[in-house]
Structure 1
Amino acid sequence: MSHRRDIPFLLHTGYARKSYFIRHSRIFASDTAAAFTVSQEFPQQKTFVLPKIKLTQEQEHIFTVIAEAGVRCNQPVYVIGGFVRDYYLKRRDAQKEADIDFVTVGSGIDLALETARLLNTRQVSVFRNFGTAHIRYGNFDLEFVGARRESYDRSSRKPFVENGSLQDDQKRRDFTINAMSWSLSKGNWLDLIDPFGGMKDLEAGIIRTPLEPAQTYSDDPLRMMRAVRFAAQLQFHIEQESYDAITAMARRLEIISKERILEELNKIILAPVPSRGFKLLFHTGLLGQFSPEMIALHGVKEVDGVRHKDNFWHTLQVLDNISEHTDSLWLRWAAIMHDIGKPPTQRFSKEHGWTFHGHDAVGAAMTKRIFRRLGLPMDERLRYVQKLVRLHLRPIALANNEVSDSAVRRLIFEAGNDIDDLMTLCRADITSKNDEKVQRYLRNFDHVEELVKIVEEKDQLRNFQPPVDGLEIMEKLGLKPGPAVGEIKDAITNAILDGEIPNEREAALAFMYKTARQQEGP
């Protein structure tokens, strides 16, 4: 019979007392004496069996080498943080390649250098100012740090750091589920060290801080964003006291750099159900600290009994809809931005009710300003999101009207290689509390998608360029560079898109000569 050593080891080393296991119903193997005793004394408490740790061959090799490096440096070593958490959650990264954090009571740099020597690798980076080191080994990123305790000045993110014990290091971690560790000591190989009840919170699906939440979030306000991120990624709940502290301290986020905020925000956007994270950001007040434009989407106005939909909740629904079909960060950003231009374009008239004319163009312009402020890339990724925001009404408009081949050709021409993503966004944009209305729109949209497919296959218009370019126009017609060349090229393009001529070279040349003669006049 296998026998877990977690409880005796923890009691022996002082990382947790027996009363802790009784109070918090610790997760441990039921074949230990301690488990039997607790179950007898507190039969109403639930106990769990810790699964036997099964590492891959590569992981076993890495852990064994690092344990040997710890022996040679005379330093105890522990696996800590996300790898341990994800192993118990059976998340993919913990089964294959992964980031793995190691903490040692001693020098993290010395441990890393000895590990690199034993692994026979030069891919080691040392950060002496932070007392950390990194090794890239195969598909693994190995991070090394010495156990430490930290204290902070309220007006700064720079901590005062000093050497500490393993429990000091676990205490400074953001959440209990990230403070769990495994021993790499020979006598206690892979024993779980969990002084703050991380396994219990993992089982219950709770985000909780090891220390008082106000202290944890005051030390590093980014942890408030991380709480939301983990709640969204893992579909956990934030413990009430922690949630209340975030709500009370949301403005502290102002001392955090936009780069660090953006990193967490993007992870929230990539969560399985990103609206879960955005709802938490909204209700805690965090969202307003960096995205007033999204806050402006919230709310419903009413005039003469006429109301419009709440564009904030609509945007979150579109984001969830699109997330069912894509893991693309930038397509998800397009979903977030698609209606961002509605608040400044909102108008009411008795004749038309609520309108948002031009919100597509205004939203595309706002997207650039928002990207710059948040520190998002100002390159082709911005232009991609802007294009989808600018064009997102076009397929919907086609679905509402009789669809002509000409209109479809122009849509394909303007969207280019992004036509598929545009159609995905527009399908996600079909939302309503009236399910019958949604189904009717979806049926119409199915027709538009089918027509796009037919026209694209027939006319080969994706990334369309006229069969005759400007240089050939000048050569054939003896023209010098000037407006006339552009006018003839545009005329050829429009003739093809309108279906007046086929997308073929001979037809384009004939149309070119015809257009030139018309420009010359009688």
Structure 2
Amino acid sequence: MNHKEAIQHKVFKIIGSTADELSLECYVIGGFVRDYFLGRSQVKDIDIVAIGSGIELARAVAKKLSGKPEVKVFKNFGTAMVKSEGLELEFVGARKESYRRDSRKPIVEDGSLKDDQERRDFTINALALSLNKETFGDLLDPFQGISDLNKGIIRTPLEPGITYSDDPLRMMRAIRFATQLNFTIELKSLRAITENKDRIQIISKERIVDELHKILMSEKPSKGFELMHKTDLLRYILPELKALQGIEEVEGQKHKDNFWHTLEVVDNIAATTNNLWLRWAALLHDIGKAPTKRFDKKIGWTFHAHEFVGSKMVYKLFKRLKMPLNEKMKFVQKMVLMSSRPIILSEAHVTDSAVRRLVFDAGEFVEDLMTLCEADITTKNPKKQRKYKNNFKLVRQKIIEVEERDRIRNFQPPVTGEEIMKTFDLKPSKEIGIIKEAIKEAILEGVIPNEHRAAHEFMLEKGKELGLKK
């Protein structure tokens, strides 16, 4: 079968004719070909395989491309990278690979195209299209990758146990592709992942997190976490999440399974936002429930302060996975810490002061917090669901009203420390902090409006109480 339409871009003709001049066989392989057959928008990083030196081919091609782009050579890997017209072309010589038990870095030898296709992770990523003039657009599919694409199956070209043991990152990639494409991992392959799960420990945290991000950013992330749970990879990657699974019963009282609830929340939030860190917050919003779970004879199951405990756990989890310990981590912590606040508001009569405090504490992230809390509604009771959603609408409306009137978001005190010092002729002292805090509390409680004149008068009264003279 010929698929010239997949390789219409002029760069493929240039690569093919250059390979002919060098008497090299040459193919485009991997994600670009897979996505063409799936009808997805094709990836911009394109893998080119030469039967011979990929580096030599890259150098010769670069000379013919407009602007004569730089060739980046990675000698250790036998690869070369050329960037041209928004495409990243990676050239490599076809190779055979063998592995040592303690490393995912292979021992590499020159090989045939079939050797190169065998070393690929999945049959759907082993599809190759010829770029040589005589065979331009011919498909080489020795492992029935097209059939697997049509059936929606993730399968390895070789024995899955060998494929996953050699490079355990492929276990995460299998789950990620199954999630992104909504494919099924072949049963033999799924079993091999379970059998090799402990091998994931030789993979760097950065590589694992890269796959986790892609799973979280897919349309239905729960599929990936469900597969990690099923194969028990979760125990090595996110034990905090695994700990939420299960329902305990004491004296006929049960609590809900917080693991499956969490996956529902993540899917809910995935339908409303592409903010990766807000999706992380949804994934971790209940992790504090496992360590805080208690049974009380009078009130049943409790999870006291699980939001506070969970927010502390976020730091440890990010640190362990070598994720950024910056504003992104602080944002996730804040969302976890505050995840129950709007829920409590929506259940009670919503007072202005409670809304002001919510907006003050959440600051610029109040919208994100509301999105998280709405995603947290997983009740199957339609009446309850309607009630919660309506209550959240009221809270959102109240936030808009209070915000328009009182401007609490990113609150700046209307009276500064300098003004207090000047008014009462003070040097830096605890009295200044006491007055500033009293003004803030008075505004949040609605005692005074958030404006300078009222705050100034309140400052004078407070100063009098503290025995300060103007």
TM category (shorter chain) comes to over 0.9
- Alpha-carbon offset, residue 521 of structure 1: 7.0
1:199-249 deviation digits (Å, cap 9, x = unpaired): 000000000000010111111011111100000000000011111111111
1:472-514 deviation digits (Å, cap 9, x = unpaired): 3223332211221111111111111111111112222222222
* Match in the other structure for 2:55: 109
> In structure 1, what is the Cα distance between the partners aligned to 2:444 and 2:359?
9
1:68 partner letter:
S
> In structure 2, what is the Cα distance between the partners aligned to 1:282 and 1:189?
44
* Match in the other structure for 2:31: 82
Matches within 5 A, 1:195-210: 195-210=142-157
Structure 2 SS opposite 1:129: helix
* Match in the other structure for 1:483: 430
Mean Cα deviation higher: 148-157 or 468-477: 468-477
Structure 2 SS opposite 1:156: coil
* Match in the other structure for 1:258: 205
1:297 partner letter:
L
> In structure 1, what is the Cα distance between the partners aligned to 2:353 and 2:369?
18
- Alpha-carbon offset, residue 327 of structure 1: 1.3
* Match in the other structure for 1:36: none
1:312 partner letter:
F
Q: Among residues 75, 78, 86, which one is paired with 1:139 in the alignment?
A: 86
> In structure 2, what is the Cα distance between the partners aligned to 1:191 and 1:142?
20
- Alpha-carbon offset, residue 73 of structure 1: 3.0
Residue 474 (1) aligns with residue 424 (2): no
> In structure 2, what is the Cα distance between the partners aligned to 1:276 and 1:507?
55
Matches within 5 A, 1:306-345: 306-345=253-292
- Alpha-carbon offset, residue 345 of structure 1: 0.8
> In structure 2, what is the Cα distance between the partners aligned to 1:426 and 1:210?
44
Matches within 5 A, 1:225-244: 225-244=172-191
1:419 partner letter:
V
Mean Cα deviation higher: 359-368 or 135-144: 135-144
Structure 1 SS opposite 2:76: coil
- Alpha-carbon offset, residue 439 of structure 1: 2.0
Contact 2:169/2:207 (8 A) holds in 1: yes
Structure 2 SS opposite 1:67: helix
- Alpha-carbon offset, residue 52 of structure 1: 6.2
Structure 1 SS opposite 2:198: helix
Contact 1:98/1:141 (8 A) holds in 2: yes
Structure 2: state its 5+ residue gaps. none
* Match in the other structure for 1:447: 394
Residue 269 (1) aligns with residue 216 (2): yes
Residue 53 (1) aligns with residue 8 (2): no
> In structure 2, what is the Cα distance between the partners aligned to 1:476 and 1:181?
79
> In structure 2, what is the Cα distance between the partners aligned to 1:465 and 1:123?
51
1:194 partner letter:
D
> In structure 2, what is the Cα distance between the partners aligned to 1:514 and 1:401?
34
Structure 2 SS opposite 1:145: strand
> In structure 2, what is the Cα distance between the partners aligned to 1:102 and 1:442?
52
Contact 2:6/2:36 (8 A) holds in 1: no
> In structure 1, what is the Cα distance between the partners aligned to 2:26 and 2:275?
38
Mean Cα deviation higher: 135-144 or 124-133: 135-144
- Alpha-carbon offset, residue 258 of structure 1: 1.1
- Work out the number of aligned pairs and report it: 468
Q: Among residues 72, 81, 94, which one is paired with 2:21 in the alignment?
A: 72
> In structure 2, what is the Cα distance between the partners aligned to 1:476 and 1:137?
66
> In structure 1, what is the Cα distance between the partners aligned to 2:299 and 2:267?
30
Distance of aligned partners of 1:516 and 1:223 in 2 relative to their CA distance in 1, 3 Å threshold: same
Residue 129 (1) aligns with residue 81 (2): no
Distance of aligned partners of 1:52 and 1:458 in 2 relative to their CA distance in 1, 3 Å threshold: farther
2:45 partner letter:
D
- Alpha-carbon offset, residue 330 of structure 1: 0.4
Contact 1:99/1:142 (8 A) holds in 2: yes
* Match in the other structure for 2:45: 99
- Alpha-carbon offset, residue 124 of structure 1: 3.0
Residue 148 (1) aligns with residue 95 (2): yes
Matches within 5 A, 1:147-186: 147-186=94-133
What is the TM-score normalised by the length of structure 1? Answer: 0.87
* Match in the other structure for 1:413: 360
1:39-98 deviation digits (Å, cap 9, x = unpaired): xxxxxxxxxxxx76255xxx6122122223323333222110001101111212x1xx61
> In structure 1, what is the Cα distance between the partners aligned to 2:86 and 2:443?
51
* Match in the other structure for 1:19: none
> In structure 2, what is the Cα distance between the partners aligned to 1:457 and 1:494?
19
> In structure 2, what is the Cα distance between the partners aligned to 1:509 and 1:478?
15
> In structure 1, what is the Cα distance between the partners aligned to 2:84 and 2:465?
69
Distance of aligned partners of 1:494 and 1:71 in 2 relative to their CA distance in 1, 3 Å threshold: same
Structure 2 SS opposite 1:154: coil
* Match in the other structure for 1:45: none
Contact 1:123/1:137 (8 A) holds in 2: no
1:226-285 deviation digits (Å, cap 9, x = unpaired): 100000000000011111111111111111111111111111111110000100000001
Structure 2 SS opposite 1:520: coil
Contact 1:221/1:253 (8 A) holds in 2: yes
Q: Among residues 167, 171, 175, which one is paired with 1:224 in the alignment?
A: 171
2:359 partner letter:
I
The root-mean-square deviation of aligned C-alpha atoms, in Å, is 1.5
What is the TM-score normalised by the length of structure 2? Answer: 0.97
1:405-443 deviation digits (Å, cap 9, x = unpaired): 011011111111111110000000111232322222112
1:85-142 deviation digits (Å, cap 9, x = unpaired): 01111212x1xx6111111111121222222222233343211111111122232222
Residue 280 (1) aligns with residue 227 (2): yes
Contact 1:287/1:295 (8 A) holds in 2: yes
Structure 1: state its 5+ residue gaps. 6-50
> In structure 2, what is the Cα distance between the partners aligned to 1:279 and 1:128?
40
Distance of aligned partners of 1:434 and 1:260 in 2 relative to their CA distance in 1, 3 Å threshold: same
Structure 1 SS opposite 2:9: helix
Contact 2:17/2:133 (8 A) holds in 1: no
Mean Cα deviation higher: 316-325 or 263-272: 263-272
> In structure 1, what is the Cα distance between the partners aligned to 2:407 and 2:62?
55
Q: Among residues 283, 301, 324, which one is paired with 1:377 in the alignment?
A: 324
> In structure 2, what is the Cα distance between the partners aligned to 1:521 and 1:466?
20
